[in-house]
Amino acid sequence: MAEDGGSERNISPKMILVAILVVIIVILAIANSQDQKVDFVVADITLPLFVVIVGSALVGLIVGYFLGRRERHD
């Protein structure tokens, strides 16, 4: 039953794309559970590959968030 309260949510194409990318990252992370040596400039660390994948995705998300923000000029 439809209500006039506007309880419907519109799903944007951007949200669909984000959901697809999240699913792909989760599948990659689950499929790659073996350990991987990560070479930082000052140290080498051995981590499960899914940690590297998810960590890289999070870093990309943070960088994209800050680069995508527009400054307000009041």
Q: How far is CA 66 from CA 15, 18, 27, 31, 62, in A?
A: 18, 17, 26, 30, 6
Is 54 in contact with 29 (CB distance < 8 Å)? yes
Q: Where are the domains of the chain?
A: 13-68
CA atoms within 13 A on the CB side of 17: 3
- 40-53: pLDDT as tens digits: 888 899 988 888 88
Tokens of residue 28, six digits: 């990659």
pTM of the model: 0.57
Please give the Cα distance from 43 to 4 (Å, whole number).
60
- Answer yes or no: is pLDDT of 62 > 70: yes
